[in-house]
Amino acid sequence: MKISLAWKWVIASLLIESLMLTLMVIKNVDQLKNNLSTQTYIRLDEQKILLQSALVAPIAQMDYATIDAILKETKAISTIDYMVVVDNQNNCISSVGWSDCKNLPTVEFDPFSENSLEDERFDTSIPITLFSQTLGKVYLGLSTKFYIQAKEEMIIRSIIIALIELLLSAFLLITVSKWIIKNLVKLTHTANAIALGDYSQRIDLGDSKETLQLQESFNLMAINIEKNIENLKLSNEKEKKLFEKLKSQLEKNYEQDLLLKHQTRMAIIGEMLNNIAHQWRQPLNAITIQLSSLKLKKELDLLEDKDISETADSVMKYANYLSNTIDDFRNFMKVNPQKEHFSIQNCFNKAVEIVSASLKNNDINLDITKSKGELFIDGIMNELTQVFINILNNSKDILNEKNIEHKVIQISFYKQNDKLIVTIQDNAGGVEESIIDKVFDPYFTTKHKSQGTGIGLYMSSKIIHEHFSGEIIVKNEDIEYEKRVYKGAKFYIILPI
């Protein structure tokens, strides 16, 4: 069950006031104790003076009748419970209100100690002296009932006053809280109405300066909310239209992406078939030549058994080479989305194995600078191999197009801080500065449409960025080969470790 703010305020105020009243009662009781204690000591001092002056002569003269008369007269005081007079040998001379003179009470020093209040009596003694000579003592018992009664009366009176004050305070607090809370109730109802969608609601609290300011601020807020809701509705309609346009554009982009992937796949297959043709050309030529030689020897009747054996061995060697080549290309074309920890130099060597025949047939030399140690990276090896193949093929094509006399592609591997860097540079003259920023754009190519699609470098950039969280850039830099300095495009593949 939830308690309203008004009742919380009333309860909290009453609790605080109750605490303050309790503290006030405790303080008053302490003050009463101090006052009565002072009065008790004053009265005790008076009794000492009176008893000493009254009893010194009778004790000195051993006038027991006078001592009894003085004790009885003094005992008539209501606050005195008993009186016992003893001589300097502690022998009982006279007593009033105390029957056992042999067992005298223990003298106490505080009239309001725990023992004094428990037995409702303060036990003390008054020495009787004459010229500094002790004649005896008077044991005196003062009643503490008056303090207990006064304390109870004060507590009862204080409780009654506190209850009356709490009742009056509760009535006043409830009245004031209702007056204060009524505006809060109005504010709550109006806010709920606005929350439910009735933005035309306004509030009227104008019965004081403060509430009038609250009213103006709240109504201004309501006006702004109403305007903002209208603006949001308009914005929502615009966003719906924009969403439909974006959805349509995303669908087109998705279709284009599928087409691009298909074209990339076809381009890779075309490159692979071209590389296979280069790899197979020399072994097939060798097989043809040897079989033709074997046939010619047969026609000239020069064929011997060893010729058949040697030719069969040689054909088997070339056939195995062709079979291994097919296995290499088939393994490369497998879809392997699993990441692995691999050597980046072994990955490059795999790319070289695929394009080596094509580079050799075009008289292109590879100048590879290896790193001091093995460089390892995590990722999909075939994807990075494809990047290397794309860049090598790109260099091969531009070298053939420019008809460079001494063709070379320089490759280096090194580690810098927490990055692995691979550079691939040819000596074909570089890329025109006006288009160097576009070489990684999709469908951008400097080749004839029959020779290039413009997606090799784009897909390479996409693989490095998205699958390896790396970076690929190209710069025109000088390259030295065969004691000559050329200009060439230098690709930097930067991969985080």
Q: Is the pLDDT of residue 368 over 90?
A: yes
Residue 182 contacts residue 171 (beta carbons within 8 Å): no
Beta bridge partners of 471: 494
**pLDDT confidence of residue 450:** 39
- In terms of Cα–Cα distance, which of 76, 95, 70, 82 is closest to 143? 82
Whole-number Å distance between alpha carbons of 214 and 201: 15
The whole-chain average pLDDT of the chain stands at 79
| Rounded percentage of the chain residues whose pLDDT exceeds 90 | 14
Under the banding of pLDDT at 50, 70 and 90, the label for residue 453 is very low
Pairing of strands 471-481, 419-426: unpaired
**pLDDT confidence of residue 397:** 87
Whole-number Å distance between alpha carbons of 378 and 340: 5
Q: Which residue has the higher pLDDT, 448 or 298?
A: 298
Q: Which of 368-382, 396-410, 435-449 has the lowest mean pLDDT?
A: 435-449
What is the DSSP annotation of 372-435? Answer: SS--EEEE-HHHHHHHHHHHHHHHHHHHHHHT-SSEEEEEEEEEETTEEEEEEEE-S----TTT
Under the banding of pLDDT at 50, 70 and 90, the label for residue 300 is confident
Q: Which residue has the higher pLDDT, 449 or 424?
A: 424
**pLDDT confidence of residue 34:** 75
Exposure of 437 by Cβ count < 10 A (0-12 exposed, 13-18 middle, 19+ buried)?
A: exposed
Under the banding of pLDDT at 50, 70 and 90, the label for residue 443 is low
pLDDT of 32-72, one tens digit each? Answer: 777 767 777 777 777 777 777 888 888 888 888 888 888 88
Q: Is the pLDDT of residue 447 over 60?
A: no
Architecture of domain 337-496 in this structure: 2-Layer Sandwich (3.30)
Q: Is the pLDDT of residue 427 over 90?
A: yes
**pLDDT confidence of residue 448:** 43
Identify the residue whose tokens are 């003259």.
429
Whole-number Å distance between alpha carbons of 409 and 432: 19
Architecture of domain 5-167 in this structure: 2-Layer Sandwich (3.30)
- In terms of Cα–Cα distance, which of 171, 175, 160, 214 is closest to 191? 214
How far apart, in Å, are the Cα atoms of 333 and each of 85, 329, 377, 454, 485?
A: 128, 6, 21, 21, 38
- In terms of Cα–Cα distance, which of 420, 422, 271 is closest to 349? 422
Residue 348 contacts residue 411 (beta carbons within 8 Å): yes
**pLDDT confidence of residue 449:** 42
**pLDDT confidence of residue 470:** 94
Indicate the Cα dihedral angle 121, 122, 123, 129, nearest 10°. -140
**pLDDT confidence of residue 454:** 47
82: helix, strand or coil: strand
Q: Which residue has the higher pLDDT, 117 or 470?
A: 470
Whole-number Å distance between alpha carbons of 309 and 322: 20
Q: Is the pLDDT of residue 144 over 50?
A: yes
Beta bridge partners of 476: 489
- In terms of Cα–Cα distance, which of 155, 221, 151, 136 is closest to 187? 221
**CA angle 247-252-256, nearest 5°?**
145
**pLDDT confidence of residue 383:** 85
Lookup: tokens for 310:
């040697």
Whole-number Å distance between alpha carbons of 249 and 105: 110
Give the mean pLDDT of 248-264: 69
**pLDDT confidence of residue 141:** 84
Give the mean pLDDT of 127-133: 82
3: helix, strand or coil: coil
**pLDDT confidence of residue 269:** 62
* Domain ranges across the chain: 5-167, 337-496
**CA angle 187-193-198, nearest 5°?**
130
| Rounded percentage of the chain residues whose pLDDT exceeds 70 | 81
Q: Is the pLDDT of residue 451 over 50?
A: no
Whole-number Å distance between alpha carbons of 392 and 394: 5
> Which range, 24-28, 190-194, 218-222, 401-405, has the best average confidence (pLDDT)?
401-405
Under the banding of pLDDT at 50, 70 and 90, the label for residue 452 is very low
